[in-house]
Amino acid sequence: MNFLSVGNPRRLLKLLIVVFTSLIIGLGLLTPANADTVGEEYDYAVLGNVKIEGVAVGGVRMVVEGAGYSAETLTSDDGSWLIGVPTKDVYSVTLDESTLPAGVVVLEGEPTQEVELGLSGRVVMNFFIGEGERNEVSFVDQFISRFIYGINFGLMLGLASVGLSLVFGTTGLSNFAHGEMVTFGAVAALVFGVFMQLPIWVAIPLAVIASAGMGWSLDAGLWKPLRKKGLGIVQLMIVSIGLSLTMRYIIQFFIGGGTEQLPGFDSPKISLFGAVALSSNDLYSMGISIAVIIGFAVWLIKTKTGKATRAISDNPDLAAASGIDVDKVIRIVWIVAASLAGLSGVLWAYFRPGIKWDMGTQILLLIFAAVTLGGLGTAFGALIGALIVGILVETSGMFIPSDLKYVGALVVLIGVLMFRPQGIMGRKQRIG
């Protein structure tokens, strides 16, 4: 699985720099390597990337005008462009729609938009483009549309959250490596579906089975021995942080720092009613989530193992005294939690879309928010919490800048702890 094979030392150096930058600078802005560039002699620049659902579009004409200056360029094959400007001023940026592929237009806002150069001397201007008509939907339609996206996101968040909640309930561990279990599922689907070229309806179940295997081996190889050794809750929590770092960078070791896609990630949108359009992926995703969650609920309420799980969550000592094999149940809980997290990773890879080595880290705090909101250690509370967080994240983008949409959920997390620390469904004795 060596995708980043290195030909010559100079390329190696470049790769090293790219990786170094992405590791250390993290989300820092990387200047496109082969941007189609004009006006490089100036100190200031307007730049961007023209992409349709993640696929770069070359040869699009970009015009920058303002402050008595005008320049234009065509985007390069990787969709990037950069136009240098002489002064720190307000410029209008135009994307020439006639140079886009047929049927593609600027979806949000006008094709000409104003930008102002900030402190950095560089400003990024990206247009939301795609197939279809210009997006001039009413507030209500937009809200409904985002609300449905939110339910979709909330359901996949719920899949991951109930697992974390079950593990917390039965073992007391706040598992910081849960995000990496989400990533693992997505990466397993990538391995089966793309590298091994299996059909996706085979690859996804295999990825879930691989996740289950991961859950089994983590409990057998790490968590059970540590329980036997008698480690404290805080120690276990820090071990899970170490595990999270280890798994995250092992995943980066194998798939690199870029974004990978699963087959069929760009399924066309189907117009449902009004301006609400969902892709078939979204519909499948919601269907799968709901079916799995119902199955999970039946398992937890009706089966013997499910009852034993809830008994252990309530009182581990009493459960053990009444003849429940606590270790066996915890093993099953780890397997269930890992499979659900893995499935959620696959669905999220379609929702984002894309698979990245640190995707699990991005979602981990939202999972924590969902679990805390619902009440730590209650599986169904986690589900409700996840739906609320999902809807909140997606709809809040209408009122606050979209790069702050996760902030809303995290503020709610802190707010819940202030006013109702036991969460929606939790009980007060658990909060200490």
Please give the residue ranges that form the binding site for another protein (CB under 8 A).
2, 4-6, 9, 12, 15-16, 19-20, 23-29, 118-120, 122-123, 174, 226, 229-235, 237-239, 241-250, 252-253, 256-257, 361, 365, 368-369, 372, 400-401, 403-404, 406-407, 410-411, 413-414, 417-418, 421, 431-432
In whole angstroms, the minimum distance from the beta carbon of 225 to another protein comes to: 9
In whole angstroms, the minimum distance from the beta carbon of 249 to another protein comes to: 4
| Three-class SS state of 261 | coil
Of 203 and 393, CB closest to another protein:
393
Q: In the structure encoding, which two tokens stand for residue 310, read together?
A: 């809830």
Of 318 and 414, CB closest to another protein:
414
CA angle 404/405/406 to nearest 5° reads 95
In whole angstroms, the minimum distance from the beta carbon of 254 to another protein comes to: 8
Torsion angle, alpha carbons of 299, 152, 139, 98, to 10: -170
Of 350 and 406, CB closest to another protein:
406
Alpha-carbon torsion (407, 409, 286, 356), positive or negative: positive
C-alpha span between 195 and 189 (Å, rounded): 9
Residue 421 to residues 158, 236, 426, Cα–Cα distance (Å): 20, 23, 9
Residue type, 74: L
Residues 6+ apart with CB under 8 A from 323: none
In whole angstroms, the minimum distance from the beta carbon of 251 to another protein comes to: 9
Please report where in the chains the tokens 């169904």 appear, as a residue: 380
Of 148 and 416, CB closest to another protein:
416
Residue 217 CA neighbour count, 13 Å, CB half:
7
In whole angstroms, the minimum distance from the beta carbon of 64 to another protein comes to: 18
Q: In the structure encoding, which two tokens stand for residue 78, read together?
A: 């990787």
Of 5 and 197, CB closest to another protein:
5
Of 248 and 289, CB closest to another protein:
248
C-alpha span between 155 and 387 (Å, rounded): 6
Partnered with residue 108 across adjacent β-strands are 128
Burial of 401 (0-12, 13-18, 19+ CB in 10 A): exposed
Of 166 and 203, CB closest to another protein:
166
**DSSP labels, 116-185:** E--TTSEEE---EEEESS-----HHHHHHHHHHHHHHHHHHHHHHHHHHHHHHHHH----TTHHHHHHHH
C-alpha span between 265 and 426 (Å, rounded): 38
Of 104 and 237, CB closest to another protein:
237
In whole angstroms, the minimum distance from the beta carbon of 337 to another protein comes to: 18
Of 24 and 321, CB closest to another protein:
24
In whole angstroms, the minimum distance from the beta carbon of 178 to another protein comes to: 12
In whole angstroms, the minimum distance from the beta carbon of 20 to another protein comes to: 7
In whole angstroms, the minimum distance from the beta carbon of 230 to another protein comes to: 6
User: What letter does residue 101 receive in the DSSP assignment?
Assistant: P
Of 17 and 270, CB closest to another protein:
17
In whole angstroms, the minimum distance from the beta carbon of 307 to another protein comes to: 26
